[in-house]
Amino acid sequence: MKELSTTDFDSVISQSELPMVVDFWAPWCGPCKVMAPILESIAPDNQQLFTVGKVNVDDHGDLAMRFNVLSIPTFIVFKGGSEIGRFAGAAPAAVFVEKVKGILRG
């Protein structure tokens, strides 16, 4: 799982061949803590479909502001360098994967 920062965000997002799901999170957020192991667990099964990145909004508040993140966790799906969809709030693994797939299908 890639930790993204203000400096490398744009280059990582635009160079990623697969769509990337970016988790906007913070260490003090309960639902974010629930999601961390879930993201780890779903990554291997879906590595053909998407990759997962993380933005710590405490350290990179400018990214949260730029993407209008007003609630965490928020998951934004990027494809070809731009946002194609998002959802907020914790979800069980199966529901999370379905939501991402729904966004990827358009």
Partner 1 sequence: MSYQVGIIGAGPSGYTAAIYASRANLNTVLFTGLEPGGQLMLTSDVENWPGEEHGILGPELMAKLRTQAGRFGAEIKELSVTAVDLISHPKKLTLSNGTVAECESVIIATGASAKWLDVHGEAKLRGRGVSACATCDGFFFKGKNVAVVGGGDSAMEEANFLTKFASSVTVIHRSAEFKASKIMLTRAQNNPKISFKMNAKVVEVLGEDRVTGLKIENLIDQTSADLPFDGLFVAIGHFPNSAIFANQLTVDRKGYITVLTGTTQTNIPGVFAAGDVVDHLYRQAVTAAGTGCIAALEAERWISHGA
Structural contact between residues 55 and 22, judged by C-beta atoms closer than 8 angstroms: yes
CB of 17 to partner 1, least distance (A): 28
Among 89, 98, 101, 102, contact with partner 1 (rule: CB under 8 A): 89
Structural contact between residues 23 and 54, judged by C-beta atoms closer than 8 angstroms: yes
Identity at 70, one-letter amino acid code: L
How does DSSP classify residue 67?
A: T
Pairing of β 20-25 and β 51-56: parallel
Using CB under 8 A as the binding rule, whether residue 43 contacts partner 1 is answered as no
- Listed ranges 4-12, 14-22, 33-41, 48-56: which one lies at the site for partner 1 (CB under 8 A): 33-41
- Interface contacts to partner 1, rule CB under 8 A: 26, 28-31, 33-34, 38, 57, 64, 68-72, 74, 86-95
